[in-house]
């Protein structure tokens, strides 16, 4: 919707409470004879910086000029002309705010009305520099694409705020990940899960005790690794992923070990990362089950839920791994097909 806003004059929207046209074409998207509601057109009204950024990517290509708005579309090197030319200058030129580019064309040549307005005079002088589609109709081009075709991926990359890559990214988002699990892991790393400590920090009167063991304050580090129930869950899951026994490390060190141990893209590496994400998700689910209902699950039942999630996902994963003691241990522990080796 952000792109439709850019080609609509606010006065026209206010007058019609929407935009009706026989054809609206935007980078291959055509809406025939439909009325676009006001709330759709103003959906990104507060994001003026995003609108300005997206505006520069939507370029009107001039053919016969019959479907391109002279003042409202982005076709001129100066940008949208309505932003640099006053209403009085438009009125004095003999044109209206709804004029088309065809109104200043004559036999295919630029023929704008005479003016003494400095801004409008500058705009008229730059008209010959605008590329033309001689003998063809007007079109709208999406400039981030070499073919001029609109793609949501290009739009997102255009307007999003880029940040440095986080070190845990491949542990949460990897080939074969389960989106729901990865989202929970993302929330853990960004410390935005509503644990008891999180809620109390925001002045919400709740008990600080852990919902799983009731022996310590429930924060991210305790809930997922230090809690006695969580430690028992991790002991069983890591035992399936690693042939030698090892103690559970604090969260800040445990995820680093998992990330470095399962850093590849083979089947066994995917299983290790799936197990990490599935365990985080199941511990959080158990926390909410105990917090909001009178039910609870045993460690064994939680193990079964984690195994179910992983095996369900692996039915769609075709990666294989080399035959090694560690990989054989994972294949046997998770009851995977021997053909995986």
How far apart are the C-alpha atoms of 24 and 251, rounded to whole Å?
53
Q: Indicate if the pLDDT at residue 19 is higher than 60.
A: no
DSSP string, 241-308: H-SS--PPPPHHHHHHHHHHHT-S-SHHHHHHHHHHHHHHHHHHHHHHHHHHSS----HHHHHHHHHH
CB within 8 A of 114, min separation 6: which ones?
none
Is residue 58 a contact partner of residue 3, using CB atoms and an 8 Å limit?
yes
- How would residue 139 be classed by pLDDT, with cut points 50, 70 and 90? confident
Query: How do residues 31-65 score in pLDDT, each as one tens digit?
Result: 333 333 333 333 444 355 677 777 778 888 898 88
Q: Could you tell me the residue ranges of all domains in the chain?
A: 2-159, 169-340
- pLDDT of 197 > 90? The answer is yes
Q: Is 290 exposed, middle or buried (0-12, 13-18, 19+ CB in 10 A)?
A: middle
Q: What is the mean pLDDT of residues 150-170?
A: 86
- Per-residue pLDDT, averaged over 149-165, amounts to 84
In this prediction the pTM is 0.65
The pLDDT tens digits for 201-259 are 999 999 999 999 999 999 999 999 899 999 999 999 988 888 777 788 888 888 998 89
- Of the CA atoms within 13 Å of residue 309, those in its CB half-sphere come to 26
| Range 74-79 average pLDDT | 86
Give the mean pLDDT of 183-194. 94
CA distances from 141 to 25, 33, 275 (A): 10, 21, 45
Task: Say yes or no to pLDDT of 10 above 60.
Answer: no
**Proportion of the chain above pLDDT 70, given as a percent:** 82
């Amino acid at each position: 919707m952000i792109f439709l806003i850019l080609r609509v004059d606010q006065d026209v929207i206010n007058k019609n409470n929407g935009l009706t046209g026989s054809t609206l074409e935007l980078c291959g998207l055509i809406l025939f004879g439909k009325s676009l509601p006001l709330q759709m057109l103003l959906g990104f009204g507060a994001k003026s910086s995003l609108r300005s950024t997206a505006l520069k990517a939507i370029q009107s290509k001039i053919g016969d000029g019959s479907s391109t708005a002279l003042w409202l579309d982005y076709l001129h090197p100066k940008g949208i002309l309505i932003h640099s030319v006053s209403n009085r200058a438009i009125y004095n030129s003999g044109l209206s705010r709804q004029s088309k580019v065809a109104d200043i064309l004559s036999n295919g040549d630029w023929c704008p009305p005479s003016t003494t307005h400095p801004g409008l005079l500058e705009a008229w002088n730059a008209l010959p520099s605008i590329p033309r589609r001689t003998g063809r109709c007007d079109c709208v081009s999406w400039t981030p694409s070499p073919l001029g075709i609109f793609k949501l991926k290009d739009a997102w990359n255009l307007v999003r705020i880029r940040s440095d890559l986080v070190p845990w990214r491949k542990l949460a988002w990897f080939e074969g990940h389960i989106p729901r699990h990865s989202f929970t892991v993302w929330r853990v790393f960004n410390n935005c899960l509503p644990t008891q400590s999180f809620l109390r920090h925001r002045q919400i009167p709740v008990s600080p005790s852990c919902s799983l063991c009731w022996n310590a304050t429930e924060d991210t580090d305790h809930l997922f690794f230090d809690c006695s129930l969580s430690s028992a869950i991790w002991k069983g899951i890591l035992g399936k992923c690693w042939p030698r026994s090892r103690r559970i490390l604090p969260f800040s060190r445990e995820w680093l070990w998992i990330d470095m141990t399962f850093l590849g893209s083979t089947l066994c590496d995917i299983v290790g990362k799936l197990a990490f994400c599935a365990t985080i998700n199941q511990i959080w689910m158990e926390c909410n089950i105990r917090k909001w209902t009178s039910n609870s699950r045993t460690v064994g039942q939680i193990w079964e839920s984690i195994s179910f999630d992983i095996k369900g996902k692996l039915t769609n994963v075709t990666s294989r791994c080399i035959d090694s003691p560690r990989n054989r241990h994972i294949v046997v522990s998770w009851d995977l097909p021997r053909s995986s080796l």
